[in-house]
Structure formats: structure tokens, C-alpha cells
Amino acid sequence: MNKFYSIIDSPSISSISERLALSSIAATLGKDSVIVEVGTEQGGSAKILSESSQATLYTIDIGDHIYGSTVDRSRFIFFQGNAKAFKNENPDLNIDFLYIDGDHSFGGVREDFDTLYAMLKPGGIIAFHDVDYKHLGVLVFVETLKLFNVITDCILIDTMVIARKPESRSIRFYRNNFFLGIKL
């Protein structure tokens, strides 16, 4: 199948614009780059990322839901478990692009972020899916990161926020603050 339509037809629960955004980001990364995705499900977004890029793609999910002929799992490295277990197995990984689409609760998205953000290179790209009122935990968490400049240069495409890790700011800055009564 034509690569464009292969991306459009991938079994991902995301809009066409979000798929194209993922594909565009991945396409900018060379073969020495690393992409990490949290939340694989059927492998739809993993398919988009892996078909669009020469980078190495690691994709994490607590369950193995990958099936169907459209997803070639040999194109990416699937890790079954959570982000913490993944980090324990890959402590020296330097991530160029981190895509978070796993647990959509405030605590869940925060844990994935806190675990993997330290491995994201300064200036690296981070994207969150489902940043909307249907997923209030994700929305509040991402707004908090924006408020404290933990992520910068944010772009919203449908429900996907794409942002950058600042070159210098420390994550400790937001951990020492309160927001909406929550100790960050």
C-alpha cells in the first residue's frame, strides 16, 4: 500500500491530523534517534511512527493488544510493562521524541511523564494524546506543565499537544509547587 494511505489507515484511535503530525515528527528523526511511545494498544500509532522514520521505536504497554495484519511488530521494540519497568531495563536511553498515550488519569499520565521526562534530551519533543475535557486528568496535567514552563512551544492539533523540553529548566521547579491544591 502507498505509505501515505498506510498511515491514514492505521488502526489508531486518533484523527487524520494527529496521525499526520506524528508522521511528520517521526520523519524528521534520523537513524540514530530514539522514539518512545507509552500506550501501544493495537500498534496503530506505532505503525505510523515506525513507517515514517528511520529512528528506533520503543513502545510500551501494560498489555499486549497488538494484532492484525496491518501492524508489523518487527518494525518496533515492544515492551510489556509500565514506564518504570521500561526505564529499569533501559536506564541509559536518550529519547528524542516521547509520545504519551497510556493511562489517561492525572496520576497515570503524571507517572509516565515523571519517569520518562528525565530520559528526554534537552530540546527533545514530547507529545500527549487526548488532551481534552473527556480526559480531564490529561488536560489538567498538561496545562500544569505549560503553566510552569516544564514544556514549551506547545502546539495543539485536535486533542494532541506537541511541545518541547526546554534546554535548561529543571523538573524540580514544578515539583516544588502546588497547583489546584495538588502538590506537584
CB-count burial class (<10 Å; 0-12, 13-18, 19+) for 98: buried
Tell me how far, at minimum, the Cβ of 94 lies from ligand SAM, in Å. Answer: 21
| Strand-strand pairing, 120-128 and 95-100 | parallel
Rounded distance, CA 8 to CA 177, Å? Answer: 41
The three cell numbers of residue 98 are 516521547
The region of 9-17, 148-156, 162-170, 174-182 touching ligand SAM under the rule CB under 6 A is 9-17
Q: Is 3 in the site for ligand SAM (CB under 6 A)?
A: no
Instruction: Give the residue from 56, 73, 64, 51 showing the smallest Cα distance to 5.
Output: 51
What residues numbered 125-184 form the site for ligand SAM, per CB under 6 A?
none
Q: Which is nearer to ligand SAM, 15 or 149 (CB)?
A: 15
Q: Is 51 in the site for ligand SAM (CB under 6 A)?
A: no
> Which one-letter amino acid corresponds to residue 183?
K
Q: Is 13 in the site for ligand SAM (CB under 6 A)?
A: yes
Tell me how far, at minimum, the Cβ of 16 lies from ligand SAM, in Å. Answer: 13
Q: 41 — phi, psi (to 5°)?
A: 45, -120
Task: Select from 49, 61, 131, 174 the one that contacts ligand SAM (CB under 6 A).
Answer: 61
The three cell numbers of residue 159 are 486533542
Tell me how far, at minimum, the Cβ of 41 lies from ligand SAM, in Å. Answer: 4
Chain residues in the site for ligand SAM (CB under 6 A): 12-14, 38-42, 44-45, 60-63, 65, 82-83, 101-103, 108
